[in-house]
Amino acid sequence: MYRALLERYPYAHCELDFDNPLQLLVATVLSAQTTDVMVNKVTPTLFAKYPTAADLAGADREEMEAMLKPTGFFRAKTSSVMRLAADLVERFDGEVPPRMKDLVTLPGVGRKTANVVLGNAFGIPGITVDTHFGRLVRRFGWTSEDDPVKVEEVVGKLIPRKEWTMLSHVVIFHGRRTCHAKRPACGACPIARWCPSYGIGETDPDKAAKLLKFELAPGAGGPPAAEAVQTGVEGAQPA
């Protein structure tokens, strides 16, 4: 199933824009209760004004709140970003630590956020169990667990560690584009033949195709060209 998803989404990637670990960490914190698209609209201005952890920690609260307002819960998010930045300055010389054990001690940072940062900013494999990932792996029958930590542990035994970050990307892409929470496009799904949940959504191929979103949506022009991806999953257990 992973190989089929990789063939469908060889271009899958972190959809938050960033240039360094600090930017990705902050963007991930800001992505709560909003979309990556919205976060990407506000972060260029935010990081141009406050490029370092020290700058973020010492920011003018009202100015930052105004910048973050489009993302929702902007007062709480401003507080979170400023506390997070202050902790980075105080404990890590303003740098984002490349270790899970350190990242999860930062204010507002759990394993999901830590794995996003480790996998995409540092190249350290990690499984990002967000709402899409958890929903899909339960639909796939890979696990019945609801707890994100347990989901991460179970799925990590199915797929080689070096694939964990890309696995996260393709599953999340699939959840956003095809396997929707309320009306999955089963008839347009590349893993329908193996999926035990096939049939919970629209099975008619033509009707299902109309449910696809983003680059797969009708009239969207299709997926971008992508270089071949080396999966290295030949020895993996069936998944």
pLDDT in tens, 71-87: 999 999 999 999 999 99
Residue 100, amino acid: M
For the chain, the helix, strand and coil percentages under 3-state DSSP, each to the nearest 5? 55, 0, 45
Write the DSSP symbol of residue 186: G
Tell me what pLDDT residue 239 has: 60
Answer yes or no: is pLDDT of 230 > 60. Answer: no
Give the tens place of pLDDT for each residue, 132-173.
999 999 999 999 999 999 999 999 999 999 999 999 999 999
- In this structure, are residues 12 and 128 in contact, taking their beta carbons and an 8 Å threshold? no
Query: In angstroms, what is the C-alpha Rg of the chain?
Result: 19
Query: Does residue 115 surpass a pLDDT of 80?
Result: yes
**Cβ contacts of 147-153, under 8 Å, gap ≥ 24:** 148/111, 148/112, 149/111, 152/111, 152/115, 152/127
List residues with catalytic annotation.
112, 130
Contacts 24+ apart (CB under 8 A), 57-60: 57/82, 57/85, 57/86, 57/88, 57/89
Instruction: Write down the H helix ranges in the chain.
Output: 2-8, 21-30, 36-49, 53-57, 61-68, 74-92, 100-103, 111-121, 131-140, 148-156, 164-177, 205-209
3 state DSSP class of 145: coil
- pTM for the whole structure: 0.91
Q: How far, in Å, CA of 122 to CA of 105, rounded?
A: 18
Q: How far apart are CA 204 and CA 138, in angstroms?
A: 23
Residue spans per domain, the chain:
2-11+128-216, 21-121
- State percent of the chain over pLDDT 90: 92
Q: 2-11+128-216 is classed in which CATH architecture? A: Orthogonal Bundle (1.10)
Q: For the chain, give the percent of residues with pLDDT over 70.
A: 94
Instruction: Classify domain 21-121 at the CATH superfamily level.
Output: Hypothetical protein; domain 2 (1.10.340.30)
Given this model, what pLDDT does residue 12 score? 98
